[in-house]
Chain A
Amino acid sequence: MHIIVCIKQVPNTTDVRIDPLTNTLIREGVESVINPFDAYAIEEAVRLKERLGGKVTVLTMGPPQAESALREAVSLGCDEAVLLSDRKFAGSDTWATSYTLAAAIRKIGAFDVILCGKQASDGDTAQVGPGISTHLDIPQVTYVKKIAEISADKALVERMTEEGYDTVETPLPCLLTVVKEINTPRLPSLKGMMRAKSVKITKWTADDIGAEPESLGLDGSPTRVIKIFTPEPRKGGELLKGDTADVAAELVELLKDIAA
């Protein structure tokens, strides 16, 4: 079984700062780590490999320093690593990112399962996984909390919902995004860490993956960010007291005033 895991390197902070001029994340001075949700995808991929045999390829798009995230993934049990890095990818929104990752996956070749974390801790969109499956035209199941059964041509998975979970059967190849309930990620092993130090990272540019230039980076991104800001804290409300009918009438008048 060939499993591909898509990961993202993110700032190791929950307090993301935004550059007010460019509306992008400020990465300087913040340690980079593997997106915490992707750690569950890596662990699940390695577990599938241990159960069924095969290999795990880890894939990321990012600046050259994203290589460290790939090496960490190898220390956790991934076999091969691919870094997509090119200035042309800069400014990608979720659509362009998923287009680029999908193009790289086509180049990687045959696969059975693509695993992604449910979302990244910096952007929080949860759109890249579904975007990849759309570009590749394969089925997707999001928020997977358990892979109950898996064979060469289909998988039975449990998908988290707000009230409980759905059991979904999907043909393979497919894309699954996973939630933290799916497993407990392991710590790296020494042998894995040593392999991670010496493993050759495959590095591809836009030309290598045969991507359409107009579909990449800022040009390929339909999203336009006008402004990113922290919303004003909500001001205290007003509590109306008294007889229900009176309060209702008073409320209607208040709403009319606000509308006017």
Chain B
Amino acid sequence: MDYLLTEQQVMIRDLAKKIADEKIKPVAAHYDETEEFAWPIMKILADSDLFGIYIPEQYGGLGGGVMDMCLVTEELSRACAGIALGYGGTGLGTFPILLYGSDEQKKKFLPDIAQGKRLAAFCITEAGAGSDAGSIKTTARKEGDRYILNGTKQWITNAGEAEVYTVIALTDKARGARGASAFIVEKGAKGMDFGKKEKKLGIRASATREVIFTDCEVPAGNLISKEGMGFIIAMKTLDSARPGVGAQAVGIAQGALDYAVEYARTRVQFDQPISNFQGIQHMLADMGTQVEAARALVYATARMIDSGAKSVAKESAMSKLFASDAAMKVATDAVQIFGGYGYMREYPVEKYLRDAKITQIYEGTNQIQRNIIAANMIKESLKK
């Protein structure tokens, strides 16, 4: 399908595709197996300027938006969703600064992120605060010209590898979510530590760790916006970032589908390629339609966000929900088409199945997405 991309977007997509095919595909199985963080690939992405595409030109980027980020995330995820998450997680960690940072904060942090010199990470989830993000316990106490952070963030993507962390912590415990604030914490801050690297079902090339704050000192100038804005910043960040998860899911689904079509064409049973069988053909047709529908919804949402639309929570949630469910279904069917070979780790499709699952869980489970969608629908109806 033709999505009428701009000339620059075509250039961005083609470059990401080239990197995915030539540099990531050959090493995807290696990083999945070893669970190492793919620094050589991050270097390639940095040198190609892809980290800067959604960062304004005045801060060293290329001035694009969520749509550009989605194009890259999709292409990279087609080759390896785990490696792509090093890129996507940096976007998530950068959005609070992009959306609410002061000019001074942007000048200080964005150029390095745009050049891929420093990766970023977003820290909200805690052991007791997953879907119920409002129940976070990490605190930030102001002392003179600094804040003192205490608490433990869990399952933080890019933790340990990233150098810039945007952290949601309570500055006023009594006010609950309304007492939350957002901070920029740099790796190496006194009192900041990382937990062990988590072992995961999929996206194994992505680094996931705890981030532990023990009387961690953060300069007062690293408070984003003002005290009490933390939860709003987090929600707006997620609204902007969810199409990125959608794009990751589209990439996973497309990658699995490509393998499935090729395999169906070449696998011979009953003296003919299995793609001759209508049962297989209908599966492929449904998979292809799901992928295209998911892509169309993700792109439409990304463009809506880039146009400056005020309320995007519903559409953003829909794009993430639909694309991730499609990825799970398509990847499952791809394994089915491969049959026994699909279950073997020697073949590439089982990885897509393992990688797809997380897209239904993180950045808000799909059940939470449905809550957001329904709440917005009901709110809209009341206004009519």
Interface residues of A (CB under 8 A from B): 186-191, 193-194
Contacts and interface: CB of A to CB of B under 8 A. Distances in A.
Contacts of A193: 11, 15
B50 interface: yes
A187 B15 contact: yes
A214 to B, nearest CB: 45
Most B CB within 10 A of own CB, among A186, A190, A193: A190
8 contacts: A187-B19, A187-B44, A190-B12, A190-B15, A190-B62, A193-B15, A194-B8, A194-B11
B281 to A, nearest CB: 33
B378 to A, nearest CB: 43
Contacts of A190: 11-12, 15, 48-50, 52-53, 62
B45 to A, nearest CB: 10
B190 interface: no
Contacts of A186: 44, 47
Interface residues of B, number: 16
B22 interface: yes
B226 interface: no
A25 B196 CA distance: 61
B370 to A, nearest CB: 37
Interface string B3-22: 00000100110010011001
Interface in B55-78: 62
Given A187-B18, A187-B44, A190-B48, 7 more contacts: A187-B15, A188-B48, A189-B47, A190-B15, A190-B50, A190-B53, A191-B49
A189 B44 CA distance: 9
Contacts of B50: 190
B111 to A, nearest CB: 13
Contacts, number: 30
A189 B49 contact: yes
Nearest to B12: A190
Contacts of A187: 15, 18-19, 22-23, 44, 47-48
Interface string B151-170: 00000000000000000000
Interface of B: 8, 11-12, 15, 18-19, 22-23, 44, 47-50, 52-53, 62
A188 B49 CA distance: 9
A192 B53 CA distance: 13
A186 B45 CA distance: 11
A248 B252 CA distance: 68
A133 to B, nearest CB: 32
Nearest to A191: B49
Contacts of B12: 190
B9 to A, nearest CB: 11
A76 to B, nearest CB: 11
Contacts of B8: 194
Contacts of B49: 189-191
A193 B12 CA distance: 10
A193 B10 CA distance: 12
A63 B48 CA distance: 30
Contacts of A194: 8, 11
Nearest to B53: A190
Contacts of B19: 187
A12 to B, nearest CB: 15
Nearest to B45: A187
Nearest to B23: A187
A225 to B, nearest CB: 37
Nearest to A192: B49
A189 B19 CA distance: 11
A190 B116 CA distance: 13
B13 to A, nearest CB: 11
Contacts of A188: 15, 48
Q: Nearest 8 pairs between A and B by C-beta?
A: A190-B49, A189-B49, A189-B48, A191-B49, A193-B11, A187-B48, A187-B18, A186-B47
Most B CB within 10 A of own CB, among A186, A187, A194: A187
A194 B9 CA distance: 12
Nearest to B44: A187
A196 to B, nearest CB: 10
A188 B12 CA distance: 11
A193 B53 CA distance: 13
B49 to A, nearest CB: 4
A186 B22 CA distance: 11
Contacts of B22: 187
A193 B62 CA distance: 12
A228 to B, nearest CB: 34
Contacts of B23: 187
A191 B5 CA distance: 18
A226 to B, nearest CB: 42
A188 to B, nearest CB: 7
Contacts of B11: 190, 193-194
A195 B48 CA distance: 13
Contacts of B48: 187-190
A213 B326 CA distance: 67
A113 B263 CA distance: 50
A189 B53 CA distance: 11
A190 B48 CA distance: 6
Nearest to A186: B47
A194 B52 CA distance: 14
Contacts of B44: 186-187
Nearest to A190: B49
A187 to B, nearest CB: 6
A190 B53 CA distance: 9
